[in-house]
Amino acid sequence: MNKDDDKTWRLVDANLNRLKEGIRVIEDIARYLNDDASLASKLKNIRHKCKIDNYANIIKSRDSVNDVLKTSTSSEMQRSDINSILIANYKRTQESARVLEEIFKIFDPMLSDRFKKIRYELYTLEKNNLTNL
């Protein structure tokens, strides 16, 4: 895999979007439904760490029209309550952070380490958030 390869940047783009979108869902629940300024602020800070400098390559490689799995599965459409939304989005963010961590091991170990730290921050917030409901 090559850092100049459009498909590599496409993979990064999809996971970066998934990571930031999932954090935003959790952040907005903390902020607007739970009035939890502390958790919302922590999530906002994490979300702001989820960026990379090479946005031109990322956006150029985006191909959402031809994404072979863009249709939602039935399980993605089933949420029973806010707690199930939180769990789904914590898992989504952790999985995306892991993909980014692994991909960046190939060509930017510092970014890999950043996404690893983000993943572990999300594990900790998930535990604190979901055990205090």
pLDDT of 1 strictly over 60 = no
Show the tokens assigned to 81.
Answer: 């309550």
State the pLDDT confidence band at 100, using cuts at 50, 70 and 90: very high
Residue 113 lies in a domain: yes
pLDDT tens track for 24-77: 999 999 999 999 999 999 999 999 999 888 787 788 887 777 777 766 666 666
User: What pLDDT, on a 0 to 100 scale, did the predictor assign at position 123?
Assistant: 98
- Two tokens at 92? 């989504």
Which amino acid does the sequence have at 92?
R
Name the residue type at position 71: T
Kindly report the average pLDDT of the chain as a whole number. 89
State yes or no: pLDDT of 5 exceeds 80. no
Q: Are 84 and 20 in contact (CB under 8 A)?
A: no
As for how many domains the chain has, the answer is 1
Expressed as residue numbers, the domain containing 100 is 6-62+86-131
> Is 95 contained in some domain?
yes
What's the pTM? 0.88
Judge whether 115 lies within some domain. yes
Q: Percent of the chain scored above 70 by pLDDT? A: 90
Minimum mean pLDDT range among 7-11, 95-99, 107-111: 7-11
Give me the pLDDT at residue 75, please.
61
Surface-to-core class of residue 111, CB atoms within 10 Å of its CB (0-12 exposed, 13-18 middle, 19+ buried): middle
Residue 104 lies in a domain: yes
Q: Confirm whether 67 is domain-assigned.
A: no
3-state secondary structure of 22: helix
> 74 lies in a domain?
no
- Could you give the CA distance from residue 17 to residue 118 in angstroms, rounded to a whole number? 14
